Structure 1
C-alpha cells in the first residue's frame, strides 16, 4: 500500500512539472490569437467608421489600447511574462480609413527564453508571426 502511494506521488510530481511548460505555451498562443483578433477588429472599425484606428502598446503596463480620434475603444491586458519591443513601429499600429496600415514595422515579442517577431506589412494591414 505504501509503495503504491509513493509511486502515485512521484507520478503526480512529474505531471505537475510537465504542465508548467504546456501552460506557458498555451498562454503565448492565446496572446497571439487575441492580438490577431484585435488587429482585425481595429481594421474593421477603421473601415466601417471611416476614421483611423490605432493600437497603442503600453509595455510597462502589460496592455494595449485601441483608440480612434482620441476616443478609447478598448483596453486589453496581457500576461506580465510577455514583453514587447515596439520601437520600430513607435509603439503603435495605425489603420487608416481604407483598412491599410500607415507604416509597416516589427514588434518583437519575448516570452521567457522564446522570441517572436510580429511583422506588420504595408498595404492591406496584414501581418504574420515568426519565431526566431
Structure 2
C-alpha cells in the first residue's frame, strides 16, 4: 500500500493541471506585454514634467536670490545643469539616454533673469523612440508648454 502511494506520487502532473498552469502563465504574459506601450509613453511624459518642475524651481530661485540662473544642456551626456551666479551648480539632472533633444530656435544657455523672465524664447524637440514632443519657451512669464507631434 505504501509502495503504491509512492509510485503514484512519482507519476507527475495530470494534463488538466499542466493546462491550468500554462493558461495562467500565458494570461500573465499577455497582460504584462499589454502594459509595455504605456510605459514607453510615460517615460517621455515624466521627463517633460520633471523639466517643467526644474524650470519653475530655477525661475523661483532666480527671483528669491535676485540673481540670474542658467540652464546648461549636455545632450551627449544626457543631463542638464542649472547654475546660479558663477559656475556653482544648483541642480544636476540626468535623464534616460534614449531621450533625444534637438534645439530648433532655442539658444543655449537658457537664462532666467532676477525678475523671473527668460532672456530669449525658442523651440526645441524632445523624442523618445516613436514619440516626439515640441517644447516652446515663451517670452514674458518665462514658462514653456509642450505638445505631441
Q: Could you say which residue in structure 2 is the equivalent of 1:61? A: 77
1:86 paired with 2:98, answer: no
1:87 deviates by: 4.6
1:101 counterpart SS class: coil
> Quick check: 12-21 or 42-51, which moved more?
12-21
| CA drift at 1:26 | 2.2
Name which of 92, 117, 131 aligns with 1:114.
Answer: 131
Q: Secondary structure at the match of 2:76?
A: helix
For residues 131 and 49 of structure 1, what CA distance do their matches in structure 2 show? 35
* Equivalent-residue separation in structure 1 for 2:21 and 2:131 (angstroms): 37
Structure 1: 5+ residue runs without aligned partners?
A: none
Structure 1 residue 54 displacement after superposition = 1.1
Runs (4+) off by over 4 Å: none
2:142 aligns with 125
Q: Which runs of 5+ in 2 are unaligned?
A: 1-16
Larger Rg: 2
Q: Deviations over 1:59-87 (max 9, x none)?
A: 11111000122221110011112111125
The 5 Å alignment of 1:17-28 reads 17-28=33-44
Give the alignment's Cα RMSD to 1 decimal.
Answer: 1.3
Q: Secondary structure at the match of 1:128?
A: strand
Using the alignment, how far apart are the partners of 1:89 and 1:44 within structure 2?
21
Contact 2:44 2:127 in 1 (8 A): no
CA distance in 2, matches of 1:87, 1:119: 10
- Cα pair 1:101 1:125 within 8 Å, conserved: yes
Select which of 46, 50, 60 maps to 1:34: 50
